[in-house]
């Protein structure tokens, strides 16, 4: 085994003595380096270019403890061994507390105890590194899980949780630590203790398949599915709970989204089939009308009616296919605040005619994304125009805002108009579905196609007579 060792000592004679001992260890091939300047030694330690650092306690006016502490706090991960001229229990304890691997008295150093010290230090270093790797992997799984993972004490007070708690109940993990998980539950007027007693009577080590109504920070109700197991700490014998809260609201929304996507895909397949079947005879009708027009006189009025009807049918088919076909996009770096403002300005004329107030809330900082500017602007104008048309109150408004959701830009278009019934909410993106007296029913279908072509998501929430909110998450 080969070791590259740095000896930090202001006395060259001490360095020569220690390096002589080290080179006599037959089991290892040791390369010794000396450094007497504290600042230079510090930079060599944090570079981690050596396998082991031997540091003398007395370094002129400085001491080795301060150097080691500073290095360990600044990315030094390789093992350090403290050297001292005499034994000192307090010094030994301090050294171990700050992370020193071993403590040696210079006058008691021999080849044998140096060999044992290096072997012990190397084995401990490998163990600690493996623990760090496993801990890092555990935290990556813990922190990046989509569901809320929570560790509680025996009374369900939160000791630790991951970032997924924030989108679920609206609080940062630092805010919920120390509170009972049932502090954020709809307890129907009961205390936490009464709620646990009535809902989990005689619970013994497992909470499984429990559906609980959580109260989000904004007051909305989120349905959660609890799975908790109780464990006993092998070192302290203290009991604790570890478990997961699955977002049933999100699960339900994803299932509805999946069914809706399947339905839309089926509609698009039907559109393509019908377009093909209709256009073939339509072409024959158009050719026949041309022949009739050339061959007969006095029937021009009827021939023109046929031609206009053919063009109208052809336009309908074209618009229908355009609402569902894959779009060719021309992406460019776009500042979202400016793009949204342009769409709002275009929609202001119709808002003024209907006496609808448009409000905007933009990010303080610029927000650049890659978009097809023209097509995405059309999608925004469609949504804003729909919100304006839904106005039915004296104090009608449309609020267009831009914020961040989980580090992704989110555009919200909110109105206080007529709202959409639950029955119609799942149909609004279907081609030709409309509740208006006028309109083709292709606006939202086209909008959905544009947004999906940008790999973005659109969500809609609505209550009849209260209003509708569309959210685009880029």
* pLDDT tens-digit map of 337-365: 999 999 999 888 888 888 899 999 988 88
* pLDDT, greater one: 128 or 200: 128
Q: What's the mean pLDDT in 81-107?
A: 84
pLDDT of residue 50: 93
Summary mean pLDDT of the chain: 84
Instruction: Report the pLDDT averaged over residues 60-89.
Output: 85
pLDDT of residue 322: 63
Q: Which of 223, 280, 275, 278 is nearest to 246 (CA)?
A: 223
Place of tokens 């296919």: 321
Q: What is the pTM of this model?
A: 0.48
Band of residue 256 on the pLDDT scale cut at 50, 70, 90: low
pLDDT at 297 over 70: no
Which domains can be identified in the chain, with CATH numbers? 2-141 (3.40.50.2300), 146-247 (3.30.450.20), 253-322 (1.10.287), 332-473 (3.30.565.10)
pLDDT of residue 306: 79
Residue carrying the six token digits 């450094």: 35
Question: Which pLDDT value is given to residue 412?
Answer: 94
Average pLDDT over residues 139-146: 78
pLDDT of residue 62: 73
If you average pLDDT over residues 468-473, what whole number do you get?
Answer: 92
Question: Can you count the helices (H) and strands (E) in the chain?
Answer: 14, 19
Neighbours of 145 (CB within 10 A): 13
Report whether pLDDT(414) > 90: yes
Residue pointed to by tokens 């949504």: 383
Please compute the mean of the pLDDT values over residues 438-456 and round it to a whole number: 79
Q: Answer whether residue 252 shows pLDDT above 80.
A: no
Cα 158 to Cα 78: distance, rounded to the nearest angstrom: 35
Q: Is the pLDDT confidence value at 295 over 70? A: no
Percent of the chain with pLDDT over 70: 87
Q: In sequence order, which residues have a C-beta less than 8 Å from that of residue 3 and are 6 or more positions away? A: 28, 29, 30, 31, 51, 52, 118, 122
Quote the percentage of the chain above a pLDDT of 90: 21
Given pLDDT bands bounded at 50, 70 and 90, which one contains residue 45? very high
pLDDT score of 210: 78
Q: How buried is 266 (Cβ within 10 angstroms: 0-12 exposed, 13-18 middle, 19+ buried)? A: exposed
Mean pLDDT of 268-275: 68
The CA distance from 109 to 96, in Å, is: 19
Most trustworthy range by pLDDT among 28-42, 195-209, 224-238, 267-281: 28-42
pLDDT score of 326: 64
């Amino acid at each position: 085994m080969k070791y590259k060792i740095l000896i930090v000592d202001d006395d060259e004679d001490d360095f020569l003595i220690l390096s002589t001992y080290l080179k006599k260890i037959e089991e290892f091939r040791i390369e010794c380096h000396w450094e007497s300047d504290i600042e230079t030694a510090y930079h060599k330690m944090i570079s981690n270019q050596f396998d082991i650092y031997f540091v003398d306690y007395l370094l002129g006016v400085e001491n080795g403890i301060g150097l080691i502490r500073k290095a360990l706090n600044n990315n030094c991960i390789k093992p350090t061994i403290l050297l001292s001229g005499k034994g000192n229990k307090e010094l030994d304890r301090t050294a171990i507390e700050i992370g020193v691997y071993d403590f040696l008295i210079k006058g008691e150093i021999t080849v044998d105890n140096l060999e044992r010290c290096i072997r012990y230090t190397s084995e401990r270093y490998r163990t600690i590194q493996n623990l760090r790797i496993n801990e890092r992997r555990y935290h990556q799984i813990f922190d990046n899980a989509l569901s809320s993972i929570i560790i509680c004490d025996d009374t369900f007070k939160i000791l630790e949780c991951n970032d997924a708690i924030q989108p679920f109940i609206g609080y940062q993990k630092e805010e919920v630590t120390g509170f009972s998980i049932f502090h954020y539950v709809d307890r129907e007027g009961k205390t936490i203790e009464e709620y646990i007693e009535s809902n989990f009577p005689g619970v013994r080590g497992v909470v499984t398949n429990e559906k609980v109504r959580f109260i989000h920070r904004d007051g909305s109700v989120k349905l959660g599915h609890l799975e908790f197991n109780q464990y006993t700490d092998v070192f302290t014998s203290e009991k604790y709970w570890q478990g997961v809260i699955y977002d049933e609201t999100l699960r339900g929304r994803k299932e509805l989204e999946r069914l809706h996507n399947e339905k839309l895909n089926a509609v698009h397949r039907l559109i393509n089939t019908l377009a093909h079947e209709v256009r073939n005879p339509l072409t024959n009708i158009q050719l026949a009308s041309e022949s009739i027009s050339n061959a007969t006189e006095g029937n021009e009025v009827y021939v023109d009616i046929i031609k206009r009807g053919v063009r109208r049918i052809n336009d309908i088919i074209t618009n229908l296919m355009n609402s569902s076909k894959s779009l060719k996009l021309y992406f460019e770096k776009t500042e979202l605040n400016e793009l949204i403002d342009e769409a709002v300005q275009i929609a202001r004329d119709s808002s003024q005619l209907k006496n609808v107030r448009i409000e905007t809330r933009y990010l303080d900082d610029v927000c650049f994304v890659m978009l097809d500017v023209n097509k995405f602007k059309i999608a925004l104008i469609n949504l804003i125009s729909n919100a304006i048309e839904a106005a039915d109150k004296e104090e009608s408004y449309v609020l267009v805002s831009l914020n961040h959701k989980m580090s992704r830009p989110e555009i919200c278009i909110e109105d206080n108009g007529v709202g959409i019934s639950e029955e119609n909410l799942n149909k609004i993106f279907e081609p030709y579905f409309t509740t208006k007296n006028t309109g083709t029913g292709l606006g939202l279908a086209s909008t959905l196609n544009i947004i999906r072509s940008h790999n973005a998501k659109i969500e809609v929430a609505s209550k009849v007579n209260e209003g509708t909110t569309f959210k685009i998450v880029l």
